[in-house]
Structure formats: structure tokens, C-alpha cells
Amino acid sequence: MSLTELNTKRGDATDGAGPLGNALSRADGPAKVKGQATYALEHKVDDALHCVIVQSTVGAGRVVSVDRAAAEASPGVHLVLDSTNSLKLRPQPDFFGNWPTGEEYTPFASDITHNGQLVAAVVADTLEEARAAARLVRVEFEAATVVATRDDPSAGPGNPVPMDKDWGDPDAALAAAEVVIEATYETPREYNLPIEPHGLIAHWEADDRLTVYEPSQWIDGMANNYAAWFGVPFENVRVVSPFIGGGFGSKAQALPHSAAAAIAARMLRRPVKLAVTRPQTFTAYGGRPATWQQLRIGATRDGKLLAIDHDGANETAADGTFVETLGVVTSMMYDVANFRSRQRIVPVNTVLPGAFRAPGKNPSAFALESAMDELAVELGIDPVELRRRNEPEVDPETGKPWSSRRLLDAYAAASEAFGWSRRDPRPGSMRDGHELIGWGMAVGTHPVYSSPGEATVRILADGSVEVLSSAIDMGTGTYTILAQAAADALGVRAERVTVRLGDSRLPRAPVAGGSQLANLMMAAVHKTALAARDELIALGLNHPGSPLRDRANTLFISEGRISTPRGEGLAVEELMTATGREIIELSRDTLPEADRSSDDRLKLFTTVAGMERGTNIPVSRHSFCAHFVEVRVDEDFGTVRVSRVVTALDAGRLYNPKLADSQFKGGIVMGIGMALLEEGVTDPRNGRILSANLADYRIATNADVPHIETISVGKPDYDATPLGGKAVGELAIVGMAPAIANAVFHATGKRIRRLPIRLSNLI
Ligand code: MCN
Ligand code: MOS
């Protein structure tokens, strides 16, 4: 047994008791509470100017002219930029690799595709001066007809996206089925709304060296965005983002306003700060597009699914493509021999929509899990029992075995804790005074993605440890769990480990998206820390200055002490001193050998190419959860209150149950908002977003959130990821909205297929 194997084994043996699996509180918590955590715009950069953007007031058409004169003459103004005088950038592909048209890119629009589009920007000494001057920029627009949403008849049917899925013969199976459920399910435009709005400070230290302080879910991806735009080497761009006030998918890319600030800084040779206002976050980033899905499910009378036929569509921008992949849950959740899904996108005059917690998965589950409830009602079968009867042995789409799928355990645990057996299935049958009580359930799932990661681990002379990575922590817990990983592998206490994240100068990491970061970075840090541990042990065994030299064949490290099997030993820092070592520093990655030396190595961290590599893995890897929900519907007023939630989840091994639980609860709370509150409203006449603030765009707050009980039924899944964890961050939002809609049906007998559920639907 090699040292590494020995030590890995030891790590496993301490599962649950060692630093890995412990419910440590967030390492970054005290700094945040004390105001010592520096967010992007709080970085002190000398001589920074302020940039304020000017936006389109029409939803379609073109800019006829921009009169900059009055703004330029306004006090403190250094520069007024529009499409005619701005530095031109190089185009670059979007998240999915789609290239924009044209040879050049400018973030300042001349052709208007959405209301609120970036048209001009003013840079001045102070924020107040920039704001005042921005009002003096005279933009003349030629307005064209706006197609604000897909509800506009001229939006048309849209364009098919080549992601068809087909197996069996769904038409024949539906024709022969004893029961068919057919319905359309709709979700509105939703906005990510992290507590920290977007913004940045762009600072060119030289004409070809840029530092950007900007909240980022993807340090390396965003550094690559800037490098590509400005045609400078990746290494010359430094993105700094140590703390992020949430992102939920919206902070993975540099956006047009980011380009504007970087252009201004470059042209003026001064640092430029740009803070997106709350209303502007609604036009700077598109949020989850509206979706509508037609679903047909055929089944036998005893509840065996025969066929699923699924047509999904989402809104996209007139000048860009975003696909909310709606066929992702329908195709893998239940055992079904005949399947078809199609996807369309419908261009409208909106800012490009984008990723929002569990893109695709979330609305896909809303349709499927609502329809399954309708089927259960139609058949008179308990909804949990219906799902049990259709639990697939293998992934129905790929035929691959599941790495693990503990959904039956989740049904059992959650229904027991919830008291589901006491449910009277008849709608409207349970009440408490004038409140109708509804009990509903639904299932959620999220795939496990795995990209490569790099890490550096340092053991310092005082026995403390540093972990370095360009990965990020947007409130998820990365700082904490990576300290746990290093502590576990090295045999030191987690408090002795400092984790440095959020700087593109540090070793490479891919996007903190798709709920992949924890698993992949835990693997990279584990591997690197084990190598550091081997080096420390070799030092103890072989160094002439080591008091343990030649005392044993191997050494163990535990609680910061390095010792022989007989127990004689010393503290790690004493060994470092005795051997005269200042530092042990090692870097490792989780790349296959061929990729390590490849010219395209950087691509694996700066594009989503790395995430796709999982497709040749022989197992199907997903997390699962089952939500059980109680709602109370006021009979007279139609108000809906979620009064109880029990969710059982299989996310494999939890590295930190406290932080995972917080992730689960965050997803559940967002699911409540999705079901009952959230809706982006657009003015059909001009495409203006009417709900562009936190008063009109409502999200779930404390008063909307009941007691939530979460139960982990996961077991370490080493076929899914090296350390046995599965996806956590996005899992629990999936399936929450249909669980609520199903509960509302049970309370009222009314099936609401278009979210959010309004009181007007229920009275
Ligand atoms: N975790 C764990 N055990 C595992 C996996 C994860 O204990 N097996 C815990 C860890 O604390 C880890 C966290 O869960 O830090 C999230 O891990 P993971 O599922 O890998 O998700 P990522 O780190 O990739 O984070 C991104 C994910 C996504 S894609 C969205 S969207 C989202 C989310 O996380 N946005 C969030 N959770 C968020 N939480 C906060 N506070 N803010 C956001 O913007
Ligand atoms: Mo999450 S929407 O994948 O950043």
C-alpha cells in the first residue's frame, strides 16, 4: 500500500467524524459580519473615475444620433462614449460558443434590440457628476415595432433548436394508452437578483495589462472574456473577486456594461468604476426566460407510463441565443419506453436571458411533476405510489446505470417525516377553519458535472496550511469546504488552513455553475494536499535533521502532529524547524495526462468544454430530491401560504452538512418565490420592464418561508465524483414549484399551470 493509498484510506475511515463531513460554520462568516469582507466595488483603487450608463428608451429600432456636447461640457466629465467614438473590441463567443455577427464588437448599441440597452456612457470625477451628465446625453431613436414577449402574436412559433430526443414510438404508444394527460405549463420571466448588484472597477496598469475587480462566478472565464475583447494575453488580465453577494448564474460572464467600463478605463488611462443600479440589473442580465411546455403523458390504468411527448419553448433575445433546455428532466426521471422532446426558442425584444439556478431543470420539472400529479388524480393513485411504479432501473435516455439514485429512500423518509399517510386524497377535503389545507409533493433532480480543477497547497513553517485556487465562493461555502478537504488529507485542524480564492492569478478553476464546483475542487485540493502530505512524511522519514528519521517505515499525521505507528512524534511546525524547511508547496490538477500538456488546456477552464467531458463516463450521475409541502389557502381571499416543507435529498456525500443544508433551504425558498411571487412584467407597447425593482418584482422573504425540514438520504457515491459528493447548489429549487402547485390543487381542486399562482386564480 502506498503512502497515498494509506492516507486516502484513513480519510475515508474518518468520514463523518473528521474535518470532512463536519458541520463547520462558514470560514468567511466573521469577516462578512464585521464588514471586513471586501466586495468588488469596495476595493480601494486610487484615482478611480465613475461611469454611468445611458440606456435605450425604446424596445426596438435604431439610434439616429447621440448628442454628447452638453454632457461633455458638464462639470467633472472626462469622457462621453457611444458606438461612434468608442474603442472597438474583438467579438467573442457566448457561453455556448455562439459567435456574434460582425468583425468588431462594441457594447454600445446602434441597432436597438431591447429597452434599457446600453447606448452611451459618461465618465466623470464623481458619481454625482457622472449621473448628472448622463441625463444631458441626447439620444434620438427611431423606434420600430416591439415584440415584447411571446404573448405578442407576431412573435411567431420561433425556431427549432437541434436538441431533439427520441426513442421508441411515442405516437403509437399515446394512441394505444388507456389514459392520456395533455396540458401546457408556463413559467414567467424570472430575474436572479443577487443581493450585490453587478458592477466593476477596471484598471489598466499598462496598455496591455488589465485588473478588474468584479463579482464573478467564473474568474478564469471572465478574465478570458476581457483578454479576447481587448486582444491581450490571458495572463495579462487579472480578475479579482474574493467575495460575491450571490449570483445564481448571473455572474459567470463579463457583460456589456463590463466592456464599457474597461473601454473607458483604457481610453482614459485611469481606473473606472461602474455600479449597476438595482433597476439596471433587470436590463444588464436577462434572467430565466419565460417558458411554455406542452406535455402529453400516456399511461396504463394501473399507472405504468407508456409515453412522454414534450414540446418546450423559451423566449430568447432578438440578437442572441439562450436555450432553457426543457427536455432535461422529462427524459430521465421515469421509466418510459417511448419518448420524444423538442425545443424551440422564440426571439423577442429583450436583453439576452441566461442561466438562473437550475436552468432547464427547474421549468422542465415544473411541467413533468405537475403532469404526474394530474395523472395520479386521473388514475386515483397516490402520487408517491405512481412515482414508485415508474422508478427506472437505469437512465432511460442513455441506458447507463445510475451512479446512485436513492429516490425511493427519499420518498420513504420524507413522507414519513411529513405524515403523508394521513392525507385524504380528495381535493378540498382537509381544512382548518376558513383555510383549505393542501398536501402536495414533487421530485427534483440535478445532473453531476465534472470539470477539471487545479490547486496549490502550502505547508508553512508554523505548521499552518494555505490552499490557493481561482475558484470562488458566492455564499456557497467553498472557503470552508476546501479548508476541510486540506485538513482532512493533511491531518491538521481546519482552523489551521487558510483558503485563498477569487483571483485569476491563482491556479485555474472552471465556472461555479452547474453545481459542480464543490466536487471538482474538493478532488483537486484532496489530491494536492495528499501530495503535500507525502512530502511532509518523506521529510520526516529521510531528512537528516528529522528526529523521526529511520524510526519507522511510515509516519502518520493527525491533529497537526507527525508520528510513528508507535506514537512518538512532534508537531508539524517542529519538523519544519528541525529540517530547516520554510515551506512545502505543491500544485496538482485533476486533468488527464493528455489534457495536461495540451495547447487547449486553458480552454478547459475558460469555456464549458470541460463540463461536457462527462458524457463518456459509463454511469449516469444525478442528485435527487423529493419535496413534500403543505399549503394553506384562504377560502375567501385566495391567498396561499406555504406552511410546512419536508424535503429528503440524495446528493451523495455531504462535505459539510450545515452548508449543504443552507444550500437546500436556499433552493426551497427560491422555489416558493417561483411558485407564488416571482414574475417579470414587460410593457407590451415598448418592451420596458415594469417590475424592475424589488417592490414590484417580489421574491420570497422571511414572512413567506415556513419551517423547512431537510433530510439527507445520500451515501458517498464514488462513481459520481472522486470524494463521493453529488450536486448540491441547484438541486432543491428543482421540483419545489410543482410541489406547491400540486398542494394548491389538493387544497382547492384548481390546477394552476401558469406560474406564479395568483389569488385571482383561486377565487
Ligand atoms: N456541498 C456539500 N457537499 C457536497 C456538495 C456541496 O456540502 N457534496 C456544499 C458546499 O458548502 C458547497 C455548496 O454546497 O460550497 C455548493 O456546492 P455545489 O453544488 O458544487 O455548487 P457550486 O459550488 O458550483 O455553486 C454554484 C451553485 C449554483 S450553479 C447556483 S446557480 C447557486 C448555488 O450554487 N447560486 C448561489 N448556490 C448559491 N448560494 C448562494 N448563497 N448564492 C448563490 O448565488
Ligand atoms: Mo448556476 S445557474 O449553474 O450558476
382-392 average pLDDT score: 98
Residues 6+ apart with CB under 8 A from 203: 45, 48, 210, 211, 212, 213, 265, 271, 272
Q: Are residues 604 and 468 in the same domain?
A: yes
What is the position in ligand 2's atom list of the atom closest to the CA of 511?
4
Name the closest ligand to CA 247.
Answer: 1
Whole-number pLDDT of residue 228: 94
Cell of 321: 441565443
pLDDT at 3 over 70: no
Hey, how many other C-beta atoms are within 10 angstroms of the C-beta on 572? 28
Q: Are residues 390 and 352 in the same domain?
A: yes
- Which residues share a beta bridge with 112? 61
pLDDT at 118 over 80: yes
CATH number at residue 89: 3.90.1170.50
pLDDT at 2 over 50: no
Whole-number pLDDT of residue 613: 57
Q: Are residues 463 and 441 in the same domain?
A: no
**What separation in Å is there between the alpha carbon of 649 and the centre of ligand 1?**
15
What confidence tens digit (pLDDT) does each residue in 542-554 have?
999 999 999 999 9
Contact criterion met (CB below 8 Å) for 35 and 41: no
Using the 3D structure, point to which of 580, 595, 610 is the last residue of a domain: 610
What is the position in ligand 2's atom list of the atom closest to the CA of 514?
3
Report which DSSP code applies to 521: H
Q: Please tell me the residue having the least CA distance from ligand 2 atom 4.
A: 249
Chain-centroid distance, C-alpha 270: 33
Is residue 274 exposed (0-12), middle (13-18) or buried (19+ Cβ within 10 Å)?
buried
What confidence tens digit (pLDDT) does each residue in 57-73 have?
999 999 999 999 999 99
Question: Does the residue 283 lie in any domain?
Answer: no
pLDDT at 383 over 70: yes
State the chain's mean pLDDT as an integer.
Answer: 95
Express as a percent the part of the chain with pLDDT over 70.
97
Q: Are residues 638 and 546 in the same domain?
A: no
**What separation in Å is there between the alpha carbon of 476 and the centre of ligand 1?**
5
Whole-number pLDDT of residue 107: 97
Using the 3D structure, point to which of 592, 610, 628 is the last residue of a domain: 610
**What separation in Å is there between the alpha carbon of 450 and the centre of ligand 1?**
14
CATH number at residue 600: 3.30.365.10
Question: Does the residue 415 lie in any domain?
Answer: yes
**What separation in Å is there between the alpha carbon of 132 and the centre of ligand 2?**
36
566-586 average pLDDT score: 97
DSSP string, 231-289: T--GGGEEEE-SB-S--TTTTSS--HHHHHHHHHHHHHTS-EEEE--HHHHHHHS--BP
Q: Are residues 431 and 477 in the same domain?
A: no
pLDDT at 99 over 90: no
191-200 average pLDDT score: 97
Q: Please tell me the residue having the least CA distance from ligand 1 atom 9.
A: 660
Question: Does the residue 725 lie in any domain?
Answer: yes
* Sign of the dihedral defined by the CA atoms of residues 687, 690, 694, 697, in that order: negative
Report the side by side order of strands in the sheet with 272-275: 77-81, 118-124, 49-55, 272-275, 199-206, 209-213, 237-240
End-to-end CA gap in the chain: 70
Whole-number pLDDT of residue 610: 73
Question: Does the residue 414 lie in any domain?
Answer: yes
Annotated catalytic residue, options 190, 214, 678, 730: 730
Whole-number pLDDT of residue 338: 98
Q: Are residues 596 and 472 in the same domain?
A: yes
- Location of C-alpha cell 469596495: 42
Counting ligand 1 atoms within 8 A of each CB, the residue from 515, 520, 664 with the most, and so the one to mutate, is 515
Cell of 663: 444550500
Q: Which residues have any ligand 2 atom within 6 Å of their CB?
A: 217, 248-249, 252, 355-357, 359, 513-514, 730
With vertex at residue 702, the alpha carbon angle to CA 700 and CA 707, rounded to the nearest 5 degrees, is 100
Hey, how many other C-beta atoms are within 10 angstroms of the C-beta on 140? 10
Question: Does the residue 220 lie in any domain?
Answer: no
Domain extent, residue 295, equals 291-449+616-762
Counting ligand 2 atoms within 8 A of each CB, the residue from 244, 253, 730 with the most, and so the one to mutate, is 730
**What separation in Å is there between the alpha carbon of 512 and the centre of ligand 2?**
7
Whole-number pLDDT of residue 452: 93
Asked if 142 is an active-site residue, the reply is no
Cell of 714: 445520500
Residues 6+ apart with CB under 8 A from 421: 415
Residues 6+ apart with CB under 8 A from 580: 545
Q: Are residues 436 and 474 in the same domain?
A: no
Q: Are residues 647 and 742 in the same domain?
A: yes
* Short-list 626, 167, 186, CA closest to 386: 626
**What separation in Å is there between the alpha carbon of 727 and the centre of ligand 1?**
8
Helix (H) or strand (E) holding 743: helix 736-748
What is the position in ligand 1's atom list of the atom closest to the CA of 475?
41
Q: Are residues 552 and 475 in the same domain?
A: yes
Question: Does the residue 708 lie in any domain?
Answer: yes
pLDDT at 198 over 50: yes
User: pTM score > 0.85 for this model?
Assistant: yes
471/219 Cα distance (integer angstroms)? 7
Hey, how many other C-beta atoms are within 10 angstroms of the C-beta on 518? 30
Whole-number pLDDT of residue 16: 40
Q: Are residues 69 and 210 in the same domain?
A: yes
Using the 3D structure, point to which of 610, 629, 663 is the last residue of a domain: 610
Name the closest ligand to CA 510.
Answer: 1
Counting ligand 1 atoms within 8 A of each CB, the residue from 728, 731, 733 with the most, and so the one to mutate, is 728
Contact criterion met (CB below 8 Å) for 545 and 580: yes
Question: Does the residue 728 lie in any domain?
Answer: yes
pLDDT bracket for residue 612 (50, 70, 90): low
Q: Are residues 555 and 642 in the same domain?
A: no
What is the position in ligand 2's atom list of the atom closest to the CA of 729?
1
Q: Are residues 603 and 730 in the same domain?
A: no
Domains of the chain: total = 3
Counting ligand 1 atoms within 8 A of each CB, the residue from 474, 476, 519 with the most, and so the one to mutate, is 476
Question: Does the residue 221 lie in any domain?
Answer: no
Contact criterion met (CB below 8 Å) for 67 and 89: no
**What separation in Å is there between the alpha carbon of 390 and the centre of ligand 1?**
30
Q: Which residues have any ligand 1 atom within 6 Å of their CB?
A: 194, 246-249, 357, 474-478, 481, 512-519, 651-656, 659-660, 663, 666, 725-730
- Which residues share a beta bridge with 53? 121
* Short-list 276, 263, 257, CA closest to 204: 263
